[in-house]
Amino acid sequence: MKISVLGAGPWGLAIADLLVNKGYSVTVWEFDENICKTLQTERKISSKLPGYKIPEEIRITNDILEAVADSEIVINAVPTQFIRSYFDKIRDIDFTDKIVVNVSKGMEVASGKDIRELFISEFDTITDDNFVIVAGPSFAIEVALNKTPTAVVAASKNIEAANFVRDVFSNEYFRVYSNDDVIGVEIGGSVKNILAIAAGVIDGYGLGNNTKAAMLTRGLAEMIRFGTEMGAKRETFSGLSGIGDMILTCNSSLSRNWQVGSRIAKGEKVPDIIRNMNMVAEGVETCRVVNRIAAEKNVCMPIVSMVYKVLFSGADPKASITELMTREKKVED
């Protein structure tokens, strides 16, 4: 089977490594020609996956048509806000007999669309029958370098497609479950990144376990509230792409979104943090979209709102926490 991975970042390479080790023919597309040449010759990205060597069996190319044209599975690993940038290059590809798998997380700021909506609205031959999302608690470096036991979920409105991807991706250290709630899986993977920024703020201030537990619990309530309003199944958020991914991302300094919150608590300015990061923190831009949609749909999300104000309105994080704690009292939901 021929598989292409669009995006040579840490997660794209981790997935490529997983698949080539299963015997598939894997080609990775890197959009930057100079970076592509470096990856082809040096076979590493030390700044993002320190200690990892790209197997020689993984082909790396700057030609996206070469990567996609004869692939049976096309995997998007490009960060959400940049996905649309390559659409015109593959506009004439017929995806009818291909499975499109997304492994990025978030929602597009410009349109407010999740990634499934983005692909389906732009390509006539990408539909709910051949679109799958893979998400769950998984850091790229642990999958690529350490190959530690990891569990994720493959979701599609076409459960047969989800099951197919589940079987292709699964091995002795990477266990994949399947379900048909693609909306819930996408929203869980998006909102947890916003909550991870809040978690980083809490840890950056050293506020302790009580505060973190309260934020995680009430953050999950916001995730469920938002997700069910968008058409997701409530039970999905009790699974790997919901609470599972939230536990991982909110409790580790490996999380880019956690790092943003921690650095904010230490007094750094948001534009400086974003400019100096060597990887994309999806939660920052996703927060714009979720906060906007929540306001439009009258979904109560006070933690997300607080993160938005800190990120984009210059709100003081400590004052925002006090504001959350002293809101009008209510029954737990």
pLDDT over 80 (residue 279): no
| Cα–Cα distance for residue pair 207/220, rounded to 1 Å | 19
| Cα–Cα distance for residue pair 158/164, rounded to 1 Å | 10
At 172 the pLDDT is 97
Instruction: Determine contact, residues 246/219, Cβ cutoff 8 Å.
Output: yes
At 330 the pLDDT is 92
CA dist list (Å): 197 to 64, 82, 131, 213, 285: 33, 21, 29, 15, 12
Size of the chain, expressed as the number of residues it contains: 333
At 333 the pLDDT is 86
pLDDT over 90 (residue 240): yes
Q: Could you tell me the pLDDT band of residue 127, with boundaries at 50, 70 and 90?
A: very high
Domain boundaries, the chain: 2-180, 184-325
- 184-325: CATH topology is N-(1-d-carboxylethyl)-l-norvaline Dehydrogenase; domain 2 (1.10.1040)
pLDDT over 90 (residue 167): yes
Percent of the chain with pLDDT over 70: 100
Strands 150-155 vs 131-135: parallel, antiparallel or unpaired:
antiparallel
* Closest to 28 measured CA to CA, from 50, 3, 52, 55: 3
24-36: per-residue pLDDT in tens?
999 999 999 999 9
Query: Do the domains at 2-180 and 184-325 have one common CATH topology?
Result: no
| Cα–Cα distance for residue pair 107/130, rounded to 1 Å | 20
At 68 the pLDDT is 96
* Residue bearing the bigger pLDDT, 277 or 325: 325
Q: Could you tell me the pLDDT band of residue 179, with boundaries at 50, 70 and 90?
A: very high
At 230 the pLDDT is 96
Q: Could you tell me the pLDDT band of residue 145, with boundaries at 50, 70 and 90?
A: very high
**Does 192 qualify as catalytic in the annotation?**
yes
Residue with tokens 């599975």: 73
Other CB atoms within a 10 A radius of the CB of residue 217 amount to 11
> Residue 272: which region, alpha, beta or left (left: phi > 0; alpha: psi -120 to 50)?
alpha
264-293 mean pLDDT: 92
pLDDT over 80 (residue 162): yes
At 36 the pLDDT is 96
From the list 98, 105, 113, 192, the catalytic residue is: 192
265-270 mean pLDDT: 95
Lowest-pLDDT range, 164-178, 271-285, 294-308? 271-285
- 2-180: CATH topology is Rossmann fold (3.40.50)
**CA dihedral angle for residue 231, residue 236, residue 241, residue 246, rounded to 10 degrees:** 100
| Cα–Cα distance for residue pair 106/280, rounded to 1 Å | 11
At 283 the pLDDT is 93
228-257 mean pLDDT: 96
Q: Supply angle C-alpha 260, 297, 312, rounded to 5.
A: 25
At 277 the pLDDT is 85
Q: What is the mean pLDDT of the chain?
A: 96
At 298 the pLDDT is 97
* Angle formed by the axes of helices 282-296 and 256-265, nearest 10°: 90
From the centroid of its chain, how far is CA 51? 23
pTM for the whole thing?
0.94
Q: Could you tell me the pLDDT band of residue 146, with boundaries at 50, 70 and 90?
A: confident
55-70: per-residue pLDDT in tens?
999 999 999 999 998 9
